[in-house]
Structure 1
Amino acid sequence: MKPLVRNAALNGYMELGESLGVDPRALMKRVGLDPVGLAVQDRWISGTAVTDLLELSAVAARREEFGLLLAERRRFSNLGPISLVLREEPDVRSALQLLIRHERMCNEMMRSRLTEADGLATVKVSLELGEAHRARQAIELAVGAFHGFLRVFLGARWRPVSVCFTHGAPRDVTAHRRYFGPVVEFDREFNGLVVHAAALDTPNTMSDPLLRGYARQYFESIAVTSETTELDRVRELIEVLLPTGRCSIEQVAGSLGVDRRTVHRHLAASGETFSSLVNATRAQLAEQLVANPRRSLTEISGLLGFSAPSAFSRWFRDRFGVSAREWRARREAGPVPN
């Protein structure tokens, strides 16, 4: 099944489109979305259609930063029911962790992860679309939304250590620097934010301890949880180890402090094997990396842990049904209307 997102993902879209001189209703109909339905924020719609809509809108408006401009219009309440609980979390870290754990309540194609090391916290953001779609605008919307979320708690003057995108820089970076500050970087290995871990310890001044229990009780009755599992931990380690050329089950087991049979057992319980998980992780990363025309296929081959570009080429064709060059060309051609 294709991933769905809440209508709230397009909050402010109509107004933004009209302000930039495009016809948002016509574009929505072009990708099969109902403009009238946007009034119901909790209605679920096609995530790929939303992704295509943002790309078409950016082209029609001639604004490479369209997704970021939409992120600027996001409000805390756009998160839906979870926003009531997030306001009552005691500090920024717990609020952020809760949001990531329940992100599928808002967006089924969103995959985000929080890691901390050496005094820094990294929020990595990716989208699982299930097929070749340009997603620059949707990625910038998602990263911009996370930035806006943190600024609600940390104040308008707060700035991250860096903001990273896997795609190349736009011709004009004014909007990005206005929103993120001078720390935005392009052609990086991941999409997301890097912040000082200490900032996540900041108390939540909106929180009322007397309301926290009631908010949690209400939310738990409707929540869809996405807890970190052993499968998630193995997947994270695969992602880290692939560029080193040393991605093996022995390396993963050693990092987890268990033997390889234990890793096999955990994966089997989830219906996976180590090879299947490596392939799935490679496929997700390949979609992000190949979509960036500034990265050579030889460089991408190394980042995905292949011993030679020819091995990467064979794997990509087997996995996606076309060569990496053809897949990139189709992606650059833009979304195909329904």
Structure 2
Amino acid sequence: MPALIRSVALQDYEWAAQAVAVDPYAQMKRLGLVLEQPISGDEFIPYQLFVQLLENTAEAGRCPDFGLRMGQGPDEYFEGPVVVLMRHANTLSEALALITQYGHVYSTVFQPTLAPVRGQAGMVDLILTVNDGRPASFKQVTEYILVSLVRALRFVRENRGDDLLVMFPHEALSAADKYQAYFSCECRFNAPFAAIRIAEAELKRPLPGRNELRIKMATSYIDSRFPKSGELVSEGVRRLLRQRLGMGRVKQADIAAELSLHEKSLQRRLAREGCPFPQLLDEARRDYFVELLRQSARPSLAQIALMLGYSEQAALSRSCQRWFACSPSELLQRH
């Protein structure tokens, strides 16, 4: 599976590039990343291009701390679904497990793992897999991910974070006081890997914002709106159409919004899968219609029309003729 990252990260990139007098769209175009403006954040882009984009921009803007700047984006960062999951987890250990389970919302390559620190009892490293074994080529993206994760850890721990140790697999790119300003904790360079070290006891400490109901709401939101790796977006559309047929919110724009996709992006992805939206809607109505007919306590045809999202029973009759070459009444007799 190709390494991908969700283009929501480019929203951080856009303002950070402009802040160092670099045209973000020109830099993206150089690498073949042509996205709609403003960036919607609902596409997946090749991870390697994202990595190169950050390196190129740091060089063009003569800004060695560009990745760190990106990681200091607006507070909307904390409203993302995965950070919300972390915020309401019972413990930090559970929060990190949720990152692993739902990291596909943002990227197919970000898989943090916990490992005990050799020779330091009671300490663990949260190791970040953010490169392909060539850390010298991934300095900016490594720093971007590290500072973003430290921000998230501080958020879920209500600003506790000075007990962390942040490790970089490369030399310092800026002065020590800059790293202190970004991280407010100890930083170590030329480490074997990118990681955040923390006391193991902290993983088990209850988080202040824990809330089981919000965890269930957030996981339900992610499961319905962000297809897991390998799942076709058309499958997510089918699920949402079935849920919303009788609610009158079955237009393509409505479903795109539920999936956190731009309408045109949804249209393109469905086209690639050979499942245009009108076809999916028609199939959802047909399948639900047959299911309703099989129920022992069958609703009236007028009620069924409303349950399928039709404004009138005549529209149901026309669809039934197209699906089964007969009227709804004739189909009822068959059943």
TM over 0.5: yes
Indicate conservation of the 8 Å contact 1:88/1:215, yes or no: no
Determine which of 228, 239, 254 is the counterpart of 1:224. Answer: 228
Q: 1:110 to 1:214 in 2, by over 3 A?
A: closer
**Residue 98 (1) aligns with residue 76 (2):** no
Q: 1:162 to 1:84 in 2, by over 3 A?
A: closer
3-state SS, counterpart of residue 198 of structure 2: strand
Indicate conservation of the 8 Å contact 1:58/1:66, yes or no: yes
Alignment of 1:2-81 (within 5 A): 2-36=2-36, 39-73=39-73, 75=75, 77=77, 80-81=80-81
Indicate conservation of the 8 Å contact 2:166/2:185, yes or no: no
1:177 to partner: Cα distance: 1.4
**Unmatched tracts of structure 1, length 5 or more:** 227-338
Alignment of 1:44-193 (within 5 A): 44-73=44-73, 75=75, 77=77, 80-116=80-116, 118-129=121-132, 134-193=137-196
Indicate conservation of the 8 Å contact 1:4/1:45, yes or no: yes
**Residue 213 (1) aligns with residue 216 (2):** yes
- The whole-number CA distance in structure 2 between the counterparts of 1:139 and 1:38 is 25
- The whole-number CA distance in structure 1 between the counterparts of 2:174 and 2:83 is 35
Q: Which moved more, 1:188-197 or 1:106-115?
A: 106-115
Give the counterpart letter for 1:47 in structure 2.
Y
- The whole-number CA distance in structure 2 between the counterparts of 1:131 and 1:31 is 20
Give the counterpart letter for 1:200 in structure 2.
L
Can you list the C-alpha shifts for 1:58-82, whole angstroms capped at 9, x where unaligned? 1011111111111111646478443
Can you list the C-alpha shifts for 1:235-291, whole angstroms capped at 9, x where unaligned? xxxxxxxxxxxxxxxxxxxxxxxxxxxxxxxxxxxxxxxxxxxxxxxxxxxxxxxxx
Alignment of 1:281-320 (within 5 A): none
3-state SS, counterpart of residue 39 of structure 1: coil
- The whole-number CA distance in structure 2 between the counterparts of 1:132 and 1:158 is 25
- The whole-number CA distance in structure 2 between the counterparts of 1:179 and 1:10 is 20
Give the counterpart letter for 1:125 in structure 2.
L
Q: 1:131 to 1:176 in 2, by over 3 A?
A: closer
Q: Please, what TM-score do these two structures have when normalized by structure 1? A: 0.59
Give the counterpart letter for 1:30 in structure 2.
R
Identical pairs, percent = 24
Give the counterpart letter for 1:194 in structure 2.
R
1:12 to partner: Cα distance: 2.2
Can you list the C-alpha shifts for 1:139-197, whole angstroms capped at 9, x where unaligned? 11111111111011123352243111111122523321112235111111111110122
- The whole-number CA distance in structure 2 between the counterparts of 1:76 and 1:203 is 25
Q: Which has the higher contact order (CA 8 A, sep 6+)?
A: 1
- The whole-number CA distance in structure 2 between the counterparts of 1:159 and 1:132 is 26
Q: 1:171 to 1:149 in 2, by over 3 A?
A: closer
Give the counterpart letter for 1:156 in structure 2.
N
Which of structures 1 and 2 has the bigger CA Rg? 2
Indicate conservation of the 8 Å contact 1:13/1:24, yes or no: yes
Q: 1:67 to 1:125 in 2, by over 3 A?
A: same
3-state SS, counterpart of residue 11 of structure 1: helix
1:99 to partner: Cα distance: 0.5
Can you list the C-alpha shifts for 1:122-154, whole angstroms capped at 9, x where unaligned? 111123459998211011111111111101112
Q: Which moved more, 1:162-171 or 1:206-215?
A: 206-215
1:86 to partner: Cα distance: 3.0
3-state SS, counterpart of residue 25 of structure 1: helix
Residue in 1 that maps onto 2:307: none
Indicate conservation of the 8 Å contact 2:116/2:125, yes or no: yes
- The whole-number CA distance in structure 1 between the counterparts of 2:175 and 2:216 is 47
Aligned residues: 226
Q: CA RMSD in A?
A: 2.8
1:38 to partner: Cα distance: 5.6
